[in-house]
Structure 1
Amino acid sequence: MQYSEAIDYLYSRLPVFHRIGAKAIKPGLGNTLRLCEALGNPQQQFRSIHVAGTNGKGSSSHMLAAIYQSAGYRVGLYTSPHLKSFTERIRISGVPIAEESVAQFVVDHQTLIEAVEPSFFEVTVAMAFDYFARQQVDLAIIEVGLGGRLDSTNVITPAVSLITNIGYDHTDILGTTLAEIAGEKGGIIKSGIPAVVSETQAETESVFRQIAKDKGAGITFADQQWQVVDAGLLNGKRQLRVTDTTGHDYALLLDLVGGYQVKNVAGVLSTVAEVAGEWPVTPQQIASGLANVVGLTGLKGRFQQLRDMPRVIVDTAHNQPGLAALFDTIYSLPYRTLHLVVGLVADKDRSAVLAQFPSDACYYFCQAQTPRALPAHQLEQEAAEAGLSGTAYLDVNLALAAALAAAQSDDLILVTGSNYTIAELIDL
């Protein structure tokens, strides 16, 4: 079986969230545990850090991986979804899993897959854990797929659990209040295992403290431990001034330039401090990792600039809090006219999402080639009702071409709204 055949098999045989949404989720951890048991319980054969949150969990996972790679550790990194290739989901020290390894896993375990009938995500998690165990990583950074308590990744016992923030997303699955969503995300907190929360939020702090108390787990709110101040951009990197609880003050550079990343850094620093006894790193290694996240890990789509004159930025923000944070950074940049290439999925609270978009921008609406995508003409109509006027295009590349044709050299073009939209950009 070739790699392309293996991927076709997984997509055609198994329910896939990015195609059909919540119907792809198989509640509970039973399938993942069955897969792992048949594989020799690989999740017990490597040490890990578990990362959840509404926004920032992917970026925080990549920051952690970059720091430990800079310190010379052999680092596994599991994230989702991918943008261009399935192999992006499973990396060791920045190198994606080989296509041959993916194909061999499917060949070796096809009978098991058909017996368990798991979801696409459950198989992917099992594949990653098997790969990390066989490759004997020093540690693995494991990003939660959705929620936490019932997420397939929640079969690990990590050294520390990191929760980045809580916002409104997947409310049909996780709950309609921030406290309910926090309860699901907080499900990754394990008995006796320290937990870190990146941001203190009035609606969720007591939820996390209660879960930690019930589990006998220590808990740290990172923004109470570190003060991280945005000092602007320098040579394409964001300057940060960091002060710890002892008053020690120092500077860092971060190559993830979105202003919203400032909130994630505190959580990353607290997490690194929490497990310093097991995986020591020096301040220089932390600084080197944060300054080179993209190069070390291959992260794409986080406030990524594709070209200049006009400046084209792509960002995978796709929910209300993520878009609000994104536009805070956009508004801090110089530009004459803002052009927005936007594609959304259909199973979101689109009124709350559309409310984040500025009315004075030029819009180019598009749709990803997935059944979950909101048709571009429907998006155009709903956006018009929200006071956002533009034109619909069949796909993101046509929309971007139209924006480039209309834009002046000192304009800014932003492509956003969905991971799936960004993934289909030819030049990414």
Structure 2
Amino acid sequence: MERLLAALGHPERRFEVVHVAGTNGKGSVAALCAQALTGSVRVGLYTSPHLVRFGERIRVDGAPVADDVLASLLDRLLPLVEATDATFFEATTALAFLAFAEIGVDVAVVEVGLGGRLDATNVVTPRVAVVTAIDYDHQDVLGHTLEEIASEKAGIFKRNVPAVVGEPRRSLRPVFEDAARRVNAPLVFVDDVAAVECVDMALTGTRGRLRTSGWGSLEVDLPLVGEHQARNALVAAEALAQLPAAWRPTAAALLERWRRVRWPGRFEVVPRVPSGWWIFDVAHNSASIDALVATLQRVAPPRPWVAVLGVLADKDWRAIVRRLAPAVDELICVLPPSAPPARRWDPHEAATFAAALGVCARAAPFEAALADAERAGATAIVTGSFTTVGDARIRLGWDP
């Protein structure tokens, strides 16, 4: 990655960075940070993977960079990718950095792809490094204990750069403290300086009172649904508090900008015609499924709830099914069409496993499952992998 960026003239050094890692919530925190800064400075946002179109990954001031701009930059990049034998994600990251540099962003909010320490994005020296919630995922790469996973995430800490940690477990604090000490990074645990004081939610969004270190008490009104999104907003606020004062919005501007934040595929509620709801939620590990179930129970959309679930084979799909199946009225297991061949699960095995739990479950072809869910469910839920949610949106005509 360093060789590739050096050949490009180090575009990543031509703008400031907010670097965000974590198991769950990192995309939402990145989106909230970018939305909060838009209007104060010119902002890039780099996230992965995409739901429908590649351009979703690379945004400036909230809009995807135009395809023709990316294509022109890619013409410059490809010979260097081949010469350095860069991976797809390294090339994508370099493309984002080059786009941000050429367009002239002031700040880029950069989401880690996987882990942190060895991630392709970990070539930046940010103004603040952020770690969101930690949980089990990608254990084959990151380790089999929460401590090992946390250590990999803390690998984004940089010398003398403030680090903000949103993970609440006190048992993991020594991991972050050790990592910060090694690079003399000022360390802020969100729960030491801030709190979510109350939360109310509906299918239209989440309202809550946040006690923050930078803005005092904030009455937030987010179009993102779920108690976890109030928590993500709190983490974003504490990350933003570490940035230069000239970049930070006023409290009024922050609240107004957050009312307009959009993050497709995260408990995204879409009305159906003539009645009923679609809910799209990327939830591909146990913790994110727990958040989905908790949010469903809290906002209580109309029943029956029919869930269409597609999971990649390298995930702990049994743990996901155990949590989701008893909470819904029917579970339909599917194989999303764009799932990588090497990572395709067996939906029939998953449905058999779910049925053994005593719930209504079956496997079905992807498009038939969507039609069945729409017909049988007052609320149809599409969840699991990015490919599942993205493929459903394509077939239903919903563009993120």
Corresponding position: 1:347 with 2:311: no
CA–CA distance in structure 2, aligned partners of residues 143 and 245 of structure 1: 23
Q: CA shift at 1:248, angstroms?
A: 4.4
In structure 2, do the counterparts of structure 1 residues 176 and 315 end up closer, same or farther at CA, with 3 Å as the change threshold?
same
1:306 and 2:275 are equivalent in the alignment = no
When structure 1 is superposed on structure 2, of 240-249 and 367-376 the one drifting more is 240-249
Moved more, 235-244 or 213-222: 235-244
Aligned-pair CA distance for 1:262: 1.7
Specify the alignment match of 2:360 in structure 1. 389
TM-score relative to the length of structure 1: 0.87
Counterpart code for 1:57: K
Instruction: Work out whether residues 53 and 147 of structure 1, in 8 Å CA contact, stay in contact via their aligned partners in 2.
Output: yes
Letter in 1 for 2:153: K
Compare 371-380 and 260-269 and name the one that shifted more.
371-380
Cα distance in 2 between the residues matched to 1:233 and 1:367: 32
Residue equivalent to 2:34 = 65
The answer to which of 333-342 and 76-85 deviates more is: 333-342
1:4-403 matched pairs, under 5 angstroms: 32-69=1-38, 71-233=39-201, 236-244=204-212, 248-277=216-245, 279-294=247-262, 299-308=263-272, 309-334=275-300, 335-359=302-326, 361-369=329-337, 370=339, 371=341, 372-395=343-366, 397-403=367-373
TM norm structure 2: 0.92
| Mapped contact 2:214–2:238 kept (Cα < 8 A) | no
- 1:123-149 per-position Cα deviation (integer Å, ceiling 9, x unaligned): 000000011111110100000000000
Aligned pair count reads 388
Displacement of 1:346 in angstroms is 0.2
Tell which deviates more after alignment, 178-187 or 71-80. Answer: 71-80
CA-atom RMSD, angstroms? 1.8
Instruction: Please tell me the residue identity of whatever aligns with 1:352.
Output: A
* SS class of match (1:260): helix
Structure 2 counterpart SS, 1:88: helix
Distance 1:332 1:152 in 2: 38
Report Cα offsets for 1:161-210 as digits up to 9, x if no partner. Answer: 01011000001110000000000000001111000011321331110011
Which runs of at least 4 in structure 1 moved beyond 4 Å after TM superposition? 245-248
Q: Deviation per CA, 1:212-268, whole angstroms, max 9, x where unpaired?
A: 111101111112211213431368231111224699434111111122212211111
| Identical positions, percent | 37
Q: Summarize the Cα distance change of 1:345–1:114 in structure 2 as closer, same or farther, 3 Å threshold.
A: same
- 101-110 or 43-52: bigger deviation: 101-110
